[in-house]
Structure 1
Amino acid sequence: MSKPTIFAHRGASAVQFENTMRAFEKALDQGADGIELDVQVTEDGVPIVIHDADLVRLAGVRQMIASLTSAEIANIRVGKKYMRLVNGHRIPTLLGAVAFCERHHLALNVELKETVSQRPEFVEKIVGSVSYLDHIHISSFDYHLLEKVKEVNASMETGYLLRKNSVDWDVLEQYLSADGFHIHKKLLREPYLQSLIRTGKKIRVYGMTGKEAIVASSPSYIAGWITDFPDRFRGSKE
């Protein structure tokens, strides 16, 4: 029986700044099977790897991603406050992150964020840039984006990120464009769990620390754990 795939959430973000190449490199060092990352789209349509739609939290800049070109983004550094000027990180492009995953044979979970919802015409570009990877799926809280992904490439695997009150849990089967469901670990309980299992689709769980009892003997219905601490899951993969 195969073990769940261990995805490093925004890279090894417990020890390196989130969604940076350094975080992805550390995830590789810590034994992650794959990378989970977030994608926003710049003003000139370049997919970049960053969680927020604005730069306030990550770069201390009061600018929206959608209002900046990729050239302008390239000059911005993200990182911890007071450290950005001397030890800031470049914001990766999706193409750069994909190349890293291909080079190191890592699985990739691409989460589409707000700026993609606002400009769904760029889904085709994003799908095209990741489709040659062997182990790739695209996830989002926005189900309409997953429908768009399937329109572009019916064989591209998708994962629908669920919130407690975002769906009717009794009819999860109706989400035909979702090949799997991603949930926070708080929803890894009834009545949600049986509804998920009944679909027969892949279940991936985020918010995992590696200290949960369930990790020691992962149930067969779990396809993946998404965690800031991939090193804590090494024993569960043996």
Structure 2
Amino acid sequence: MTFIFAHRGYSAIAPENTMMAFQAAQDAGADGIELDVQMTKDGCLVVIHDEKLDRTTNGKGYVKDWTWSELKHLEAPYKYSNIQPPPTIPLLIDVFDWMKTNHLVCNIELKNNEFLYQGMEEKVLQLIRQYQYEDRVIISSFNHYSLAHFHRLAPDIQTAILYSSHLYMPWKYATAIGASAIHPNVRTVNSAIIQASIEHGVAVRPYTVNKEKQMEWLIQQGCSAMFTDDPQKAIAIRKSIFGQ
């Protein structure tokens, strides 16, 4: 059955990449959450999508240029400015603590395509080991060198290649760098890619799937999972098809 991941949490109704959005995803019945990790100036793992603070917070400039003691005071309401008290940027450890209260799978996207964030893979791995979440975490990135490095560090933890352009036989490429899944832009997906990937033991989890027709089609194709801003909608469609 197709797993439903809440993209940056239930970001259709709550500020993305905040504890509020992750809790909303759990309440909606999502199977997992997706989040983005970057590093502060003093090496803390923070959950935020953009390299710059400007879009989703009341801060300015790059995440990498702020310390955690500075960042933790920022408000992160994105477009939900009426929420009181305003949500803040969480640490990855905050999300891991919260995961003790549920059984959700967590897809961690390493946001190290623009800035390499030296040592981020090791820090993320250390936290996963500390919480023993090896079976509850998937590591993804557009930086495939980083994914290959992570796989060498921890071959027991799932990695997945993110990509936005058409790849030839993506399941072969994924396997070549030790990844067990592909996370393609939904526009690059067709039946042949889904079927061949799954036949070769490579999971297919497209992003970001918000249109009902796309959701229906992926579920009917037996796609492994999807990332969506609206998990409640996807769950309702899955239920209408499978009755569960």
- TM class by shorter-chain length? 0.7 to 0.9
Q: Structure 1 residue 224 and structure 2 residue 222: aligned?
A: no
Query: Which residue among 41, 45, 49 is the counterpart of 2:43?
Result: 45
Query: Which residue among 99, 102, 105 is the counterpart of 2:103?
Result: 105
Query: Which residue among 59, 69, 78 is the counterpart of 1:71?
Result: 69
Given the two structures, how large is their TM-score scaled by the length of structure 1?
0.88
Q: Which residue of 2 aligns with 1:203?
A: 204
Q: Which amino acid aligns with 1:218?
A: Q
Aligned length: 233
Q: Which residue of 1 aligns with 2:172?
A: 173
Please identify which structure carries the higher strand content. 1
Q: Which residue of 1 aligns with 2:165?
A: 164
Q: Which amino acid aligns with 1:114?
A: N
Deviates more, 1:62-71 or 1:111-120: 111-120
Secondary structure of 2:161 counterpart = strand
Secondary structure of 1:104 counterpart = coil
Secondary structure of 1:72 counterpart = helix
Say if 2:209 and 2:215, in contact at 8 Å, map to a contact too. no
Q: Which runs of 5+ in 2 are unaligned?
A: none
Q: Which residue of 2 aligns with 1:136?
A: 137
Q: Which runs of 5+ in 1 are unaligned?
A: none
Quote the sequence identity (%): 30
Q: Which residue of 2 aligns with 1:61?
A: 59
Offset of residue 68 of structure 1: 0.7
Q: Which residue of 1 aligns with 2:190?
A: 189
Offset of residue 66 of structure 1: 0.6
Deviates more, 1:153-162 or 1:183-192: 183-192
Distance change (3 Å), C-alpha of 1:29 and 1:12: same
Distance change (3 Å), C-alpha of 1:234 and 1:194: closer
Distance change (3 Å), C-alpha of 1:151 and 1:21: same
Say if 2:191 and 2:221, in contact at 8 Å, map to a contact too. no
Say if 2:8 and 2:33, in contact at 8 Å, map to a contact too. yes
Given the two structures, how large is their TM-score scaled by the length of structure 2?
0.86
Q: Which residue of 2 aligns with 1:32?
A: 30
Distance change (3 Å), C-alpha of 1:179 and 1:45: same
Distance change (3 Å), C-alpha of 1:234 and 1:115: closer
Say if 1:4 and 1:223, in contact at 8 Å, map to a contact too. yes
Say if 2:112 and 2:141, in contact at 8 Å, map to a contact too. no
Distance change (3 Å), C-alpha of 1:30 and 1:82: closer
Say if 1:41 and 1:47, in contact at 8 Å, map to a contact too. yes
Distance change (3 Å), C-alpha of 1:171 and 1:22: closer
